[in-house]
């Protein structure tokens, strides 16, 4: 066994994976954003799909289980993720209509830039032009006029991407699962234990309901659990960190003004605070993209770290002075499923040709779910 030396292939490369014909049966383990959308897309290729999740689609332990997630195309000079997000956005809109459920909130995404040059946004501008999704440049005085709730002293300018916004996260996972079942997929709620590997294949998986399931291929889309399920192969590859999101209560006299703000990202080059005002009426949500402590996604207690909260409070008091004394109305601890370089992983088990790993969302995977699922189905479904 290649102990912890496995270097997984990123989804950007076309990996050498099993090809599934329409008579094949595939088991997808994990009904989060990655597994749910992949199961649905494979089903639409005519493949028999069984989707299994230990605690249900969008459950509170999963990375996809928060209330909301940002959707933005901006990825610096990385056109792969820009393009994937453009396709994802199309599919989110299409499925909202199909399922008659509002999942995407087109609030726009406001980038708060400290320097004249901000590569994460600047380098995406050619892609935005290519897709006719231009951003609006906002000088400091434009920012002050348009967003008086934002303190701009240390900012140089802003960019408004009017095409982005936020998605309902856990509700989307449930909608995908309902769609999957309505279109003929089989769903089982059970914990899956990977089975024995012999002659280059996994010989079935063991379910916590006592059954043994045999399929032609197994896609493990288990988010933060991948490293725990395959410790020898992925233990040091997919790592789980504790991330916190806080929902603050806005002043009662200005609730509408705060809710009307776009999603924002503070490009300070270190913490990367971001926020989802309104956040489906749950409070003014803020998160930070800095990696937290190592976390156990099954048994880890979901309690905020006072030091991380204090840091977030200091930030919000600085950037939104009107929220200096805002009460915390809710908070969440959520796991990041980090890959070594932040890229999504799509690869096969080094010793079992019928086992596929799908994960490594690394704090930015949710929005891509539908386009990633389509990609997985195109690669595996022939």
What is the contact surface with ligand FAD in residues (CB under 6 A)? 29-35, 52-55, 59, 62-64, 69-70, 191-192, 221-225, 229, 243, 245, 287, 334-337, 359, 361, 363-367
Rounded least distance, CB 7 to ligand FAD, Å: 19
Largest CA distance in the chain: 68
Rounded least distance, CB 322 to ligand FAD, Å: 24
Rounded least distance, CB 84 to ligand FAD, Å: 11
278 vs 363, beta carbon nearer ligand FAD: 363
61 vs 152, beta carbon nearer ligand FAD: 61
63 vs 107, beta carbon nearer ligand FAD: 63
Rounded least distance, CB 333 to ligand FAD, Å: 8
Beta-carbon contacts of 378 under 8 Å, excluding residues fewer than 6 positions away, are none
6 vs 366, beta carbon nearer ligand FAD: 366
334-372: string of b/e by CB count within 10 Å (b at 16+)?
bbbbbbeeebbbbbbbebbbbbbbbbbbbbbbbbbbbbb
Rounded Cα gap, residues 182 and 326, in angstroms: 43
249 vs 342, beta carbon nearer ligand FAD: 342
Closest CA to 329 of 215, 234, 206, 247: 247
Query: Is-contact 334 63, C-beta < 8 A?
Result: yes
Strand pairing partners for 27? Answer: 50, 218
Beta-carbon contacts of 13 under 8 Å, excluding residues fewer than 6 positions away, are none
Rounded Cα gap, residues 140 and 68, in angstroms: 29
Query: Is-contact 181 333, C-beta < 8 A?
Result: no
11 vs 133, beta carbon nearer ligand FAD: 11
CA distances from residue 251 to 152, 188, 259 in whole angstroms, order as listed = 20, 44, 11
Rounded least distance, CB 318 to ligand FAD, Å: 21
Rounded least distance, CB 252 to ligand FAD, Å: 27
Rounded least distance, CB 30 to ligand FAD, Å: 3
177 vs 322, beta carbon nearer ligand FAD: 177
Residue 325 DSSP one-character state: T
């Amino acid at each position: 066994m290649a102990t912890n030396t496995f270097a997984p292939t990123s989804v950007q490369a076309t990996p050498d994976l099993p090809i599934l014909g329409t008579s094949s049966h595939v088991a997808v383990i994990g009904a989060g954003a990655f597994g749910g959308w992949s199961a649905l897309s494979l089903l639409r290729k005519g493949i028999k799909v069984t989707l299994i999740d230990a605690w249900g689609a969008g459950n509170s332990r999963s990375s996809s289980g928060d209330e909301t997630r940002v959707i933005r195309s901006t990825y610096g000079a990385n056109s792969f993720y820009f393009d994937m997000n453009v396709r994802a956005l199309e599919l989110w809109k299409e499925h909202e209509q199909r399922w008659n459920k509002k999942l995407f909130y087109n609030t726009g995404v406001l980038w708060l830039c400290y320097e004249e040059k901000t590569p994460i946004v600047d380098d995406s501008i050619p892609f935005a032009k290519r897709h006719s999704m231009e951003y609006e440049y906002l000088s400091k005085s434009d920012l002050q006029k348009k967003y008086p709730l934002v303190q701009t002293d240390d900012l140089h300018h802003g960019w408004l991407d009017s095409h982005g916004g936020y998605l309902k996260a856990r509700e989307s996972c449930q909608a995908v699962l309902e769609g999957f079942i309505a279109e003929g997929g089989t769903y089982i709620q059970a914990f899956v234990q990977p089975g024995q590997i012999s002659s280059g294949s996994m010989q079935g998986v063991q379910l916590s309901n006592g059954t043994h399931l045999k399929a032609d291929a197994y896609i493990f889309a288990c988010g933060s659990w991948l490293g725990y399920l395959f410790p020898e192969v992925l233990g040091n590859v997919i790592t789980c960190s504790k991330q916190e999101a806080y929902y603050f209560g806005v002043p009662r006299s200005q609730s509408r003004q705060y809710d009307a703000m776009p999603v924002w990202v503070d490009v300070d080059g270190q913490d990367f605070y971001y926020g989802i005002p309104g956040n489906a009426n749950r409070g003014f949500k803020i998160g930070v993209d800095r990696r937290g402590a190592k976390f156990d996604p099954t048994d880890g207690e979901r309690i905020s770290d006072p030091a991380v909260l204090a840091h977030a409070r200091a930030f919000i008091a600085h950037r939104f002075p009107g929220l200096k004394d805002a009460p915390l109305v809710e908070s969440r601890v959520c796991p990041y499923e980090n890959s070594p370089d932040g890229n999504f992983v799509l690869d096969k088990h080094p010793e079992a040709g019928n086992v596929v790993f799908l994960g490594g969302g690394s704090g930015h995977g949710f929005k891509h779910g539908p386009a990633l699922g389509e990609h997985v189905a195109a690669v595996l479904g022939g």
